[in-house]
Amino acid sequence: MSPATPNILLGAPLIELSTTESTNIYAMAQIKEGLAKSGSCYTADFQTNGKGQHGRVWESSKGQNLLCSYILELKTLDALKNWTPTDQIGFSAAIALGARAFFAAFAGSETKIKKPNDIYFSDRKAGGILIENLVRGQEWTWTVIGIGMNINQTAFSSAAVNSVSSNPISLQEITNQSWDIQKLQAHLSEALNNAIQDWLIKGDGKTMEALDALCIEIN
């Protein structure tokens, strides 16, 4: 791993969408059409087909939660390194750590990670991460980091509430206050950038150790 600090990280430019099928779908299309700028963050008030892990649908009321996708071209982290799919393991762990650090800063230490990429508060799901990658040959070129965090939503579908594995909870429910989602977006970008920097400096081993220390098992 290179300890060098990259000039381009996540969160700028910030592109705000009112409604989109999925911020991940939109972001990936921007990359494939040659319109993407590394570091960009696409946010949405509402997704008509929000994507979760393993093809699941992400439930979110309009304007109530933090819904976004970041894009990153790997050569902006280190132009001399040959980025390969094996590097995705440590990177994914770093993103999970960054997302957890963001939520824990406001919700507290009961914030944990459920592998591979879910954020939990105690035994209830507060957010999720969906990372999708572009690989050309053996080279890992681009990544799309989709993140959904329950912020101000206080009513969820009965199907979600009755699910043992995902019973949702929001930051407002935890703290008894409403939150400015745009301001939280900036905090999330900072947390992710810090986590990527830590990964670049410390490497996969230390990053995975940090992840394991914060993981919980949910049946």
The answer to whether the CB of 22 falls within 8 A of the CB of 50 is yes
Specify if 218 maps to a domain. no
| pTM for the predicted model, two decimal places | 0.90
The answer to whether the CB of 39 falls within 8 A of the CB of 11 is yes
**What does the alpha-carbon distance between residue 214 and residue 110 come to, in Å, rounded to a whole number?**
10
pLDDT value, residue 2: 47
Specify if 103 maps to a domain. yes
Specify if 3 maps to a domain. no
pLDDT value, residue 189: 97
Specify if 126 maps to a domain. yes
Nearest to 191 by CA among 85, 66, 75: 66
We report the CATH number of the domain holding residue 120 as 3.30.930.10
Specify if 1 maps to a domain. no
- Cite the beta strand spans of 37-138 per DSSP E: 41-47, 66-73, 111-114, 118-121, 124-136
Residue 105 C-beta-side C-alpha neighbours within 13 Å: 12
Specify if 5 maps to a domain. no
**What does the alpha-carbon distance between residue 96 and residue 170 come to, in Å, rounded to a whole number?**
18
Number of folded domains that form the chain: 1
Hey, is 204 helix, strand or coil? helix
Containing 20, the helix (H) or strand (E) segment is strand 14-20
Tell me how far apart the terminal alpha carbons of the chain are, to the nearest angstrom.
35
Hey, is 114 helix, strand or coil? strand
pLDDT value, residue 128: 95
pLDDT digits (tens, 9 = 90+) for 99-158: 999 999 999 999 999 988 899 999 999 999 999 999 999 999 999 999 999 999 998 875
Instruction: Compute mean pLDDT per 10 residues along the chain, 219 residues long, and list them.
Output: 58 91 94 95 83 52 88 94 96 98 98 94 95 96 97 77 68 97 96 96 96 90
Q: H helices of 20-154, where?
A: 23-32, 88-107
pLDDT value, residue 218: 79
Specify if 190 maps to a domain. yes
pLDDT value, residue 20: 86
Structural domain span for residue 29: 14-213
Nearest to 26 by CA among 55, 60, 68, 54: 68
Specify if 4 maps to a domain. no
115: tokens are: 């592998």
Q: 47-50: list long-range contacts, CB under 8 Å, 24+ apart.
A: 47/19, 47/20, 47/21, 47/22, 47/23, 48/19, 48/20, 48/21, 48/22, 49/21, 49/22, 49/25, 50/22, 50/148
DSSP 34: T
pLDDT value, residue 40: 97
